[in-house]
Amino acid sequence: MKIKKKYIIYTILVVILGCLIYVLMALFSDFEKIKGAFLQYRYEYFLIAFSCIALNWFNEGLMLKTVVESIKTVRFKCTFKIAMITQFFNLITPFFTGGQPFTVYYFSKEGVEYEQSIAAILYKSFTFQVAISLLGGISLFLTWNHLSVYTAVVALVAIIINGGLALLMFFLGKHQKTVDFFVTLLMKLLKKLHLIKRYESVKKNIDNRAKEFVNMFEKFGSQKGLFFKLTGLNMINYSLYVASAVIILIGAGVTIDFELLNRIFLLNFSSSVIPTPGTSGGVEGFYFLFLKAFVDVNILTLSVFLWRMASYYLNILCSGLFVFVGFFRVKEKDLPSTSTESSKTKN
């Protein structure tokens, strides 16, 4: 599978940014103490933490299979491969959004229409936002009296943003008028910029696709069991990610109590709104912000490095293998565009 040059650049930038972040952290820490902590660390805990991330891959494949199964039967092997490819592009792009066009594209290869797969992905994303908003809200409620004003505000803003995204997805999927409004707004903007020809023909085509999208989303919404199943699987996925951070800290000799556990949930939840690839820079900063009152700064430097190595950089490496080795061998001209909208327009 050929990869567009910009994705290679994204990957290189992620690595460079990560190196700069950890060099800066090392400059503000005691190098000898960090070196000693590295030598004394129990690395079996690192492997266990990475195993939690690996379980997430299978869970992602299961969620994709679950949400698309009401449209068309797709083998788990296929949805797992799609999940891994999606994961790679999500990890190297801001807000974890770069993988969705590839999900749509590869599902189309399995006979799923673009509008249907877009609705499926949006519904899965909707349940994800609901899941993390619930977990984040519970953690904030349980630790509210123990947080500084700054950390409480950061967490509250994250809840508002993620909850707002969930509501927006709900309205987009349930209300034709809301979709029509955004479609009209987009079409007028494109017309004003002279980016489209045959305005009426293109608008009619998009309106029809938008109607199909809303119909599919309503179909998903009518399946109550699907909502609870996806929300539950998303909660498991997010909890496994948090568990990887907890396990890394245990390996460094840190005792995990109830408040520290809630703070780890909050730092992960709050960093989800950071607009950098893989939340690089933001999640490390929040790691120190939320945990510095409980853990020595040198242990924090060690643990955040190992945690990000297990949950992010090795994640990029493993998911990248599915992209670069080429489980799906397609020509460069067949690659999907970088936005869902452009994918819909082309097809």
What pLDDT was estimated at residue 193?
Answer: 62
Residue pair 222/173 in contact (Cβ under 8 Å)? The answer is no
Residue pair 326/6 in contact (Cβ under 8 Å)? The answer is no
Instruction: Give the integer Cα–Cα distance in Å for 203 and 115.
Output: 15
CA angle 189, 191, 192 (to 5 degrees): 65
**pTM for the model:** 0.82
| 51 three-state secondary structure | helix
Confidence class for position 346, pLDDT limits 50, 70, 90: very low
pLDDT per residue over 142-188, tens digit each?
999 999 999 999 999 999 999 998 888 888 777 777 777 776 776 67
Please determine, for residue 85, whether its predicted confidence score (pLDDT) is greater than 80.
Answer: yes
Instruction: Give the integer Cα–Cα distance in Å for 268 and 233.
Output: 17
Backbone phi, then psi, for 94, in 5-degree steps? Answer: -60, 145
What pLDDT was estimated at residue 180?
Answer: 73
Domain boundaries, the chain: 5-346
What pLDDT was estimated at residue 276?
Answer: 80
